[in-house]
Amino acid sequence: MNTATVGAAVTPAVIETFLTHYLNRKPLAQKPTAHISYDEGIHLIRKFLIYASHHTVEEIQRFTSQWVPHPHWVKVDELKIADEYTTKAAQAVQEQLGHHGIEKVGGKTWWQWRRPGSELAAEWIEMRVDYQERKRTKNPGTRVMLYVHGGAYFFGSVDEHRYQMQRHARKLKARVFARTRYRLAPQFPFPCGLHDCLAAYLYLLTVQDPSHIILAGDSAGGGMVVSMMVILRDRGIPLPAGAILISPWCDLTHSFPSVAGDNPLDYVPPYGFQQKPSASWPPPNSDDMLAIEEGLVQSLSHNDHSKHHPSETDAVQGFHVDTHPNAGTQNANAASRMNGNVPTANTIPGSGRDLSIMIDGQLVEIKDQIQMYASNHLISHPLVSPILQPSLGGLPPLLIQTGGGEMLRDEQIYLAHKAANPTKYPPGDDFLDESPHDHNRNQVNRWKPTDVQLQVWDDLCHVAPTLSFTRPAKYMYRSIAQFGAWALARAQKTEIEILDDDDVSVISKSDSEEDDATAEKEKSGDAGYKAVGKAGDALPPFKDHMIRERVDRHGIIRPLEPESELPGCSLLPSEIGVIKEGPVKKWMTAKREWDTRYASAKRRVQKQRARELAQGYQQFGAGEVPPPSALAGRRKTGADLRERKKERSWGMSLWSLWGSKHDEDAIKLEQEADKAPETTLASAEDGAGARPLHDTKTNQGKLLDKGKKPSNSRSRSRRRTVTDQNQTENQDEVDENTPAADLLTVKNEKPGQPSDNHLAPEFAANGTNPAILLKVPTNEEYDLKRPKADGIAFPFSIAGHNASASMTTLTSEVGIPPTKDLRTKEVMESGVSVNSADIHAAAGTGSSSEEAKVMRENERPADGTVVFGKGKGKENSVPMSSVDSEKVAENGQVVGAERPPLETFVTAASNFPTHSTIA
């Protein structure tokens, strides 16, 4: 897969589109495809994705990550991100997942592993003229956009997306901080990419104030940004000024109606992403592993060189269809529910067994992994599919742009309404009930609504700004700059000067009589016509925490339909996160075609896996079970796992040149103009009706945090004051530039109060906590379940091994850190911190600590024992003499020890302390 082959594949589509555009224009009228540039662009991307699907994952990754030169008028600087930030990011992810979540994801170490020589890196992207101005005025820069690129979590790069990022930098006069090498699936599945992006933000906090930062991402990058902000919110890490989500992919279960439609105006494959089989994709399913293991065991037991030869059916079967299901088979929405001996359909990921669904009276059991980012039992995890978060309240202001013609539009519209009205759009009971003692239910009411500007652009495709050379994209970039300027001005309590380049914009010039007529109607002020605001124009007022807009291809705004008329908002909570017949049928059709076409390739991959299993893989230690697709679990001793050196791609360079052409022409016109470009001011007073930026918690949320010590007010000369961005209980005013180390010192002045910091500490390996060990599963259970042949351990479990990372799901557990360490010696040594669900489980309630203490006193049996869990037998009890009244239990184990001080971080300030000072 190279420039020549890709060019040969897409050129016929380009020529065909050109001819049909002018020979048959009537169907294109009143659509974005009425413009030849948009029509050509969408057909080119569609053809490229179809062509790429007949190549391996590795090939498309190499092609889209090739080096692309940047224009001379753009300044690009690459930097390495130190290991200390990846360590802190890992601690935050572990804290968010909780101990049990770490077990279910397969451990706490494997997803931190990187290829040798592939250090975490990022790029600064800025207009050279803006850089020179900052240097002349000695301005460190107060406008930073951290951008996370898309690509379905498995392809793409900053090189591929740089032409879009430089447009954002030019429009906003900002510096774009781009994640260069966040690790891609399927070799690095969840939570690898999330870990990298979080580390980049933690680094950015040390060189920029949070009020100077806005987050942005497209497609998978948009979903990643939402998950990042949830972790920041829950862990008490300073949030940015705002976030921009461009067609965010936020439901990997494909449970919304628009995914099942035809969507002819989009370029995303309707059946998902199918690729030619390779070592990375698809990973072996349970049947594949049984076939490989049987062949391997037989070979080892007979000491010969016989090999297992799977049949044609074995090689292509990625799902099983029961054509004569037993009577009574129904669509069950409960984990592992059985109706006698009759299995029921399992449409909710995470139940511990294969997904299945009734289609045309037949029970279809899905065996192959569907999404590259996560195994089938993890696609409903709220950090993978953010629409299943208990609450999306308490976040900074959001701009969500969605294309009215894209297949993911319903989930994006739902995401916007869920953030603005958290209590109206909770997850279904099946997901809320995953956490014990109503922990998830408490989170639903914990956070105040998030302010959201939602723009649905008529008939546009997925991530329309990709087609930066088109007229609709021009208006979308304009809205992004307008929102970004307002968010920064509001967070910094100042005014932001923004360039008005409409007079020098090449795309602004009308190219048809229809455009001229629309422009005249706009100028005349006809009722119902309102143009998309230029960067710096006043943001419309929020109503019920939302700005709801529908925008046409000319940038004309009208009100969005009521929620009751939007399919995404009309879906029952019990149907969200549940696999549906329409998307599954599309996937099955494509799966049959690809598996049949590449059956021989799949057999070769199976044989290669069997040989590698016989030789053995490097291990991470007890409790570490990477998912089947993870490269971390397939490391052969002595193998060279370094990434190949980047080569220059002429094809990607031409695409980038096409995407940059408008910016280059605009810059030339600016230089040739007789007067300097006009500027406008974005004011913090715009966007009337928005929630105060740091007033994030509801009264219930404050009650959940009862007992936490509020931060004290601090002031410094020549510093403005803003509300504490660490999401503390009260709303005292503190200096936004106060280092976190100083805040932590102030908060710890009063003895006996817990710390507000949520980053997980590094605990001593040989702690002194006494633990009463009961008969509960430990990490050693993984080793017991891993299949072996003649002493050779396989890297992952097969069907029936419910503790395997590929067979289970997680529950995102958030809450305040306890004042006591609740963990067993084994958990202490793992370095994973406890979460609030364990506290509630021990207390038997989600109430305050004082109420929990009273309940514990009342529930103690008369025989002097403490009973854990639902059972009341002696096997679940321990002597009362071993349990202190202030101690609680985790999984039936009683532990009591003071929680060590939590490690902190430093946000940017002119006088922030050095790391040695913090230490």
Decide if 149 is inside a domain: yes
Q: What is the C-alpha separation between 514 and 508, in angstroms, rounded?
A: 14
Are 111 and 210 in a shared domain? yes
Residue 103 or residue 434, greater confidence: 103
Residues 744/911, Cβ–Cβ less than 8 Å:
no
Residues 86 and 38 in one domain: no
Query: Within the chain, what is the greatest distance between any pair of CA atoms?
Result: 92
> 882 vs 509, which has greater pLDDT?
509
Q: Rounded distance, CA 16 to CA 519, Å?
A: 31
Q: Give residue 435's pLDDT band: very low, low, confident or very high (50, 70, 90).
A: low
Predicted local distance difference test score (pLDDT) of residue 619 = 87
pLDDT confidence of 67, banded at 50, 70, 90?
A: confident
For 439-497, the pLDDT digits (tens) are 677 888 899 999 999 999 999 999 999 998 888 999 999 999 999 999 999 999 988 87
In the structure, what pLDDT confidence band is assigned to residue 318 with cuts at 50, 70 and 90? low
In whole angstroms, give the CA distance from residue 403 to residue 550. 10
In a domain, 739, yes or no: no
Which tokens in the block code for residue 403?
Answer: 């294309």
Confidence of residue 678 (pLDDT cuts 50, 70, 90): low
pLDDT greater than 50 at residue 267: yes
665 and 551, same domain (yes or no): no
Note the pLDDT tens digit of each residue in 576-591: 999 999 999 999 999 9
The residue that leads in pLDDT, 678 or 126, is 126
Number of domains in the chain: 2
pLDDT of 79? 93
- Asked, for residue 710, whether it belongs to a domain, the answer is no
The predicted-structure confidence for 141-171, as pLDDT tens digits, reads as follows 899 999 999 999 999 998 888 999 999 999 9
Phi/psi region, residue 718 (left: phi>0; alpha: psi -120 to 50; beta: rest), is left
Q: Yes or no: say if 869 and 890 are a contact pair by the CB < 8 Å rule.
A: no
409 assigned to some structural domain: yes
Please indicate whether residue 406 or residue 291 has the higher confidence score (pLDDT).
Answer: 406
- 234 and 260 share a domain? yes
Hey, what are 346's tokens?
Answer: 């399992």
Hey, which residues does 678 pair with through a beta bridge? 500
Q: Which two tokens stand for residue 510?
A: 């009308």
Residues 290 and 613 sit within 8 Å (Cβ to Cβ)? no
3-class SS letters over 78-96: EEECCHHHHHHHHHHHHHH
Domain boundary among 638, 669, 700: 669
Residue range 32-40: average pLDDT? 87
What does the pLDDT average to over 285-299? 71
Q: Are residues 179 and 119 in the same domain?
A: yes
Question: Is the pLDDT assigned to residue 911 strictly greater than 90?
Answer: no
Residue 188 and residue 243 in one domain: yes
Rounded Cα–Cα distance for residues 453 and 539 (Å): 9
Mean pLDDT is lowest, of 272-286, 647-661, 799-813, for 799-813
586 or 609, which is more confident: 586
Phi then psi for residue 51, to 5 deg, are -65, -45
- What is the chain's mean pLDDT, rounded? 75
- In sequence order, which ranges of 24-110 are alpha helices (DSSP H)? 36-52, 57-64, 83-105
State the burial class of residue 694 (Cβ atoms within 10 Å of its Cβ: 0-12, 13-18, 19+): buried
Q: How far is CA 836 from the centre of its chain?
A: 23
10 Å CB burial of residue 105 (0-12, 13-18, 19+) is buried
Q: Which of 616, 637, 669 is the last residue of a domain?
A: 669
Say if CB 528 and CB 671 are below 8 A apart: no
Q: What is the pLDDT of residue 908?
A: 53
Q: Does the pLDDT at position 556 exceed 70?
A: yes
pLDDT > 50? residue 46: yes
pLDDT at 498 exceeding the cut of 90: no
Mean pLDDT for the stretch of residues 535-557: 88
Do 96 and 127 lie in a common domain? yes
What is the pLDDT, as a whole number, of residue 317? 56
Say which range, 112-121, 333-342, 737-746, 787-796, has the weakest mean pLDDT. 333-342
The answer to whether residues 86 and 804 touch, using CB atoms and an 8 Å cutoff, is no
Residue 186 has pLDDT above 60, yes or no: yes
The span from the first CA to the last CA of the chain, in angstroms, equals 50
**Quick one: pLDDT at residue 807?**
39
Asked if residue 462 and residue 534 are part of one domain, the reply reads yes
- Spatial contact of 747 and 709, defined as CB atoms under 8 Å apart: yes
User: DSSP readout, 795-825?
Assistant: SS--TT-TTSTTT--------PPPSEE---H
pLDDT value at residue 833: 46
pLDDT tens figures, 189-210: 999 999 999 999 999 999 999 9
- pLDDT > 80? residue 332: no
- 104 plus 185 within the same structural domain: yes
Tell me the range of 577-586, 610-619, 751-760 where mean pLDDT is highest.
577-586
Q: Is residue 680 part of a domain?
A: no
3-state SS string for 553-565: CCCEEEECCCHHH
Does 439 reside within a domain? Answer: yes
pLDDT band at 513; cut points 50, 70, 90: very low
Q: What pLDDT does residue 651 have?
A: 73
Residue 554 lies in a domain: yes
Query: Is 361's pLDDT higher than 90?
Result: no
- For the cut 50, the answer to whether the pLDDT of residue 656 exceeds it is yes
Pairwise CA distance, residues 693 & 699, whole Å: 17
Q: Which of 435, 441, 431 lies closest to 578, judged by CA?
A: 431
pLDDT at 174 over 60: yes
pLDDT of residue 485: 92
Q: Are residues 263 and 386 in the same domain?
A: yes
Which of the given ranges, 342-351, 362-371, 886-895, has the highest pLDDT on average? Answer: 362-371
- Give the tens place of pLDDT for each residue, 831-856: 444 454 444 444 444 444 444 444 44
Q: Which tens digits make up the pLDDT trace of 685-720?
A: 677 778 888 888 887 777 777 655 444 333 333 333
pLDDT at 319: 67
Residue 313 makes CB contacts below 8 A (sequence gap 6+) with none
Q: Is the pLDDT of residue 674 over 60?
A: no
Average pLDDT over residues 646-656: 73
Task: Give the model's pLDDT for residue 700.
Answer: 76
Residue 378 pLDDT class (50, 70, 90 cuts): very high
Which candidate, 55, 611, 545, places its Cα nearest to that of 308?
611
Boundary (domain end) residue, out of 536, 569, 602: 569
- If asked whether residues 146 and 223 sit together in one domain, one would say yes
| The predicted structure's pLDDT at residue 269 | 93
- What does the alpha-carbon distance between residue 129 and residue 140 come to, in Å, rounded to a whole number? 15
Residue 36's domain comprises 3-24+31-66+646-669
Same domain? For 125 and 266 the reply is yes
State the number of CA atoms in the 13 A half-sphere of 761 facing the CB: 19
pLDDT above 70 covers what percent of the chain?
Answer: 64
pLDDT at 810 over 70: no
Q: On the CB side of 683, how many CA atoms lie within 13 Å of its CA?
A: 8
CATH number of the domain encompassing residue 138: 3.40.50.1820
Question: Is residue 874 one of the residues assigned to a domain?
Answer: no
